Amino acid sequence: MNSGKNAAWPKVKTLALLMPGLLLAGCNSSSSESEDLATAVEVAAQTEKGTLIESFTISESEIILKEDEQYQLSAEGTDQNGDNRDITQELTWTSSNKDIAKVSSKGQVTGVSYSTEPVTITATTNTGIAAEVEVLVQDLTVQSVAIRQESPASGDVLTCIDASFALDVTYTNGTTFERTSDITWSVDDNTTATIDSDGTLHTYSDEVEETTISATYEEVSTTKKVSADPVNLNTIDIRSQDSTTSIALAVGERLQLQSRATLSGDETEYNADLNINWQLTDSTLAGVTNSGANNGQLLALKPGITAITANCGGKTATATLTVSGDATLSALTLNQGDSAIADDVESISINAEESVELSLDANFDGSTTGLNVTEFATWSISSTLVSSEITSAGTEDARYKLTSTSTTGEVVITATYDGSSKTIKLLIE
């Protein structure tokens, strides 16, 4: 099986000299020759810029699919300049047997029909460098799954440094493959740890903590206990607006805070963005998202000066935030989906086991548009007939999502911001 690691393609030094001849030959060429000419032009242009791909890897070496199941492959290449980039859509993708498994021009593989014959998916660069993926299209039953720690490869996880985990799936025919999609990852609720849908673990505890990771694939589950240790953490910082100590925003502006961590005896700077726990001295002046993919997203709410602190693994970093502008509140607007709920509307309705998404806009004197403050408002509900969560946190599309149980009834919802409130009744029918 080709791992996708390939020998370097030599830099093209003479192609530019051949271009006039190629252009003349292309005048009466066939379609294939025209494509060859276009490729030659592309290669020449990339060579001149140093962006010609010299080696690449594909995200998977082997996959198992069922009929009609799809799987998106990806590829990362290294060019002549030594830079890495996603080249998935730059490659030519082909299948050795389209009747069993086909592949799109963008690297999406689809199982067509069951077969004991493996299919080879080949990805090729414009200079002929190739890598392969073996595909089996079989209706196999999952026998067991096992969580494997990838980074670091062994030992304790380093607090504040992303750790990655993979899931190896063993089928009833004895074959074992790593799966990267359709996995449900979770961690226990008793630690600071969170885990993304791709198996990336984030931690920020001041002390050593043990957490249990759970993974489920096709209703087969497993767990793995890991320890996160901050003992080697040396420093963390705050990076934003070309400064590590001061930030200036106008009311309504957003900014993505970043942080880098260093370890004792190691000059490498590690991305700690999704591990940081953020705190504001005065949370009425700004709000900061403290979870998910937008962790560290800052929203300026009212004029003033406050301190923002990054906390992780017992280390801290502080910056000064100055918010300018006017934020005199004139009214609040409650929205259902993308539509404002009129002030004279007392209730909205949904069916049992359905959901509704609300949002809250703050309207300021002298401004014609409202500011979505859903994430930083205080929400209260009068009943356990619904569960609630903030969706799209850290964005202008943040919503307060309510999901009803199978029971009908009435729930009173109140949203409070800056001393003002809006109330609506939710009728579950």
Give the residue range(s) of CATH 2.60.40.1080 domains in the chain: 15-137, 233-324
Q: Enter the CATH code of domain 15-137.
A: 2.60.40.1080
Q: How confident is the model at residue 173 (pLDDT cuts 50, 70, 90)?
A: confident
Predicted pLDDT at 30: 65
Q: How confident is the model at residue 3 (pLDDT cuts 50, 70, 90)?
A: very low
- Rounded to whole angstroms, the Cα distance separating 284 from 281 reads 9
- Average pLDDT on 326-342 reads 95
Q: Identify which of 214, 209, 239 has the alpha carbon closest to the alpha carbon of residue 224.
A: 214
End-to-end C-alpha distance for the chain, whole angstroms:
58
The two structure tokens encoding residue 265: 């005896």
Determine the 3-state secondary structure of 63 from DSSP. strand
Q: Enter the CATH code of domain 233-324.
A: 2.60.40.1080
Predicted pLDDT at 5: 35
Give the residue range(s) of CATH 2.60.40.10 domains in the chain: 142-229, 329-428
Residue range 382-422, pLDDT digits in tens? 999 999 999 999 999 999 999 998 889 999 999 999 999 99
- Average pLDDT on 38-65 reads 91
Report CA 238 to chain centroid distance, whole Å: 21
Highest mean pLDDT among 5-19, 171-185, 320-334: 320-334
Is residue 24's pLDDT more than 70?
no
Contact 214, 145 (CB under 8 A): no
- Rounded to whole angstroms, the Cα distance separating 140 from 258 reads 44
**Assigned CATH class of 142-229:** mainly beta
Average confidence score pLDDT of the chain: 90
Residue range 236-280, pLDDT digits in tens? 999 986 767 899 999 999 999 999 999 999 989 999 999 999 999
Q: What percent of the chain has pLDDT over 90?
A: 81
Q: Output the CA torsion 413→416→421→424 (10° steps).
A: -10
- Nearest 5 degrees, angle CA 300-CA 320-CA 394? 35
Q: How confident is the model at residue 124 (pLDDT cuts 50, 70, 90)?
A: very high
Does 2.40.110.10 match the CATH number of domain 329-428?
no
pTM: 0.76
